[in-house]
Structure 1
Amino acid sequence: MSDEDRTRADPGAGDAPPKHRSGVGTFGQTRALLRRVARFRRRRRWAVEGAAVLACLVVLVAYLGSRSDPEPGDGQGGHSGDVTAGAARSPGLPATDGRTGEAGPAMPGLRPRQRPPSPEPTPSASAPAPPPPSPEASALSVTQAEMPAEVDLTAVGARDWMHWGERGGTSTVRKRAGSGEIADEGGAGRRVGWDGNQEHVRWSDGSSQRSASDSSNGVYTCGAGNGFRLAVVGSGESRTVQLYAGTWMARGRLDARLSTGGPVRSAVLEDPYTGKSAQFTVRFTVPKDAKLLLTWTVEKVFTSHCGNVGLQAVAVR
Structure 2
Amino acid sequence: MILAGVLVVIGFGFVAARALNGPDKAPPLDPPAPALGDVRLPTPPSQGLIPLGSPTPTPPKTTPPPATRAPSRDQLRIAQGPVPAKVDLSAEGESDWVHWGLDGTFSLERDKGGDFRILEGAPTAPRFRHSLSQQTFTWSGGDPVASTTGTRTGIRTCGQGNGFTLTAPAGTTPRILKLYVGSVSARGKLTARLSTGDSTGSTVLDNRGGTLRTAVVTVAYQAPRSGQLRLTWSTDSAYGKGCAGVTLEAATLS
**Higher mean Cα deviation, 230-239 or 250-259?**
230-239
Contact kept in structure 2, 1:187 and 1:226, CA below 8 Å:
no
Structural mapping, 1:1-317, within 5 Å: 135=71, 137-274=73-210, 275-287=212-224, 289-317=226-254
Q: Which has the higher relative contact order, 1 or 2, with Cα contacts under 8 A spaced 6 or more apart?
A: 2
Q: Determine the C-alpha separation between the residues in 1 that align with 2:225 and 2:91.
A: 24
Contact kept in structure 2, 1:181 and 1:234, CA below 8 Å:
no
Contact kept in structure 2, 1:136 and 1:285, CA below 8 Å:
no
As a proportion of its length, which structure holds more strand?
Answer: 2
What is the TM-score with the length of structure 1 in the denominator? 0.56
Q: Determine the C-alpha separation between the residues in 1 that align with 2:166 and 2:122.
A: 7
CA gap 1:284/1:259 in 2 versus in 1, 3 angstroms: same
Q: Determine the C-alpha separation between the residues in 2 that align with 1:162 and 1:173.
A: 6
CA distances 1:9-43 after superposition (whole Å, capped 9, x unpaired) = xxxxxxxxxxxxxxxxxxxxxxxxxxxxxxxxxxx
Contact kept in structure 2, 1:253 and 1:269, CA below 8 Å:
yes
Q: Determine the C-alpha separation between the residues in 1 that align with 2:74 and 2:194.
A: 8
Which is higher, the Rg of structure 1 or of structure 2?
1
Contact kept in structure 1, 2:191 and 2:200, CA below 8 Å:
yes
CA gap 1:315/1:136 in 2 versus in 1, 3 angstroms: farther
Using the TM superposition, give the Cα deviation of residue 137 of structure 1 relative to its aligned residue in structure 2, in angstroms. 4.0
Equivalenced residues, count: 185
Look up the SS of the partner of 1:154 in the other structure: helix
CA distances 1:175-217 after superposition (whole Å, capped 9, x unpaired) = 0111421111134211111122111100011010000111111
Q: Determine the C-alpha separation between the residues in 1 that align with 2:152 and 2:132.
A: 6
What is the TM-score with the length of structure 2 in the denominator? 0.70
Using the TM superposition, give the Cα deviation of residue 167 of structure 1 relative to its aligned residue in structure 2, in angstroms. 1.3
Contact kept in structure 2, 1:185 and 1:231, CA below 8 Å:
yes
Contact kept in structure 2, 1:186 and 1:230, CA below 8 Å:
no
Look up the SS of the partner of 1:222 in the other structure: coil
Look up the SS of the partner of 1:147 in the other structure: coil
Could you list the structure 1 runs, at least 4 aligned residues long, displaced by more than 3 angstroms after superposition: 134-137
Contact kept in structure 2, 1:143 and 1:281, CA below 8 Å:
yes
Contact kept in structure 2, 1:162 and 1:174, CA below 8 Å:
yes
Amino acid across the alignment from 2:160: A
Using the TM superposition, give the Cα deviation of residue 136 of structure 1 relative to its aligned residue in structure 2, in angstroms. 5.7
CA distances 1:231-284 after superposition (whole Å, capped 9, x unpaired) = 001242000001000000100000000111213200000110132000100011
Using the TM superposition, give the Cα deviation of residue 135 of structure 1 relative to its aligned residue in structure 2, in angstroms. 4.1
Identity %: 35
CA gap 1:292/1:168 in 2 versus in 1, 3 angstroms: same
Q: Which residue of 1 aligns with 2:15?
A: none
Q: Determine the C-alpha separation between the residues in 1 that align with 2:101 and 2:92.
A: 19
Contact kept in structure 1, 2:130 and 2:155, CA below 8 Å:
yes
CA gap 1:181/1:288 in 2 versus in 1, 3 angstroms: farther
Q: Determine the C-alpha separation between the residues in 2 that align with 1:216 and 1:136.
A: 42
Unaligned runs of 5+ in 1: 1-133
Using the TM superposition, give the Cα deviation of residue 287 of structure 1 relative to its aligned residue in structure 2, in angstroms. 4.8
Q: Determine the C-alpha separation between the residues in 2 that align with 1:234 and 1:179.
A: 14
